Structure 1
Amino acid sequence: MQEQTLELIRSYLEENKWIFLSSNEIASKVNLSRITVRRYMNYLVENREIISQIDYSTGEETALL
């Protein structure tokens, strides 16, 4: 994990507290690939920094800080 990338994603999530965001939404706003964002989101979930759930209308996993 790159600390700079992790902080970029954390900051974006912090700015958008209380909104469930998909990895696609985050990736487009922070100019990273969806795959990279997904990997970092998984890390944040494992470390209990964010909550993750499936949006059944889109099939995407979303995250909330």
Structure 2
Amino acid sequence: MVDDKSKRDFRDRDRVSADEDYEVEYFAKTAGITPQQTRELIARHGNDRATLEAQARRLKGK
């Protein structure tokens, strides 16, 4: 199901949905990793944005 972008609130700002391409692409762009790497991080560590940002920094450092 596609997100209704007209409904704006803060309920899931701390999550990244692997099912929504635009969320994956935005996170990948801002974190400096690929969308595929983003999906792998979500599969491995869950969809908590803070955790994913920390893991993306570690991934980029390698």
Larger RCO, structure (CA 8 Å, separation 6 or more): 1
Check whether TM > 0.5. no
Q: Which has the higher strand share?
A: 1
Q: What's the TM-score, normalizing by structure 2?
A: 0.40
Q: What's the TM-score, normalizing by structure 1?
A: 0.38
Q: Which has the higher helix share?
A: 2
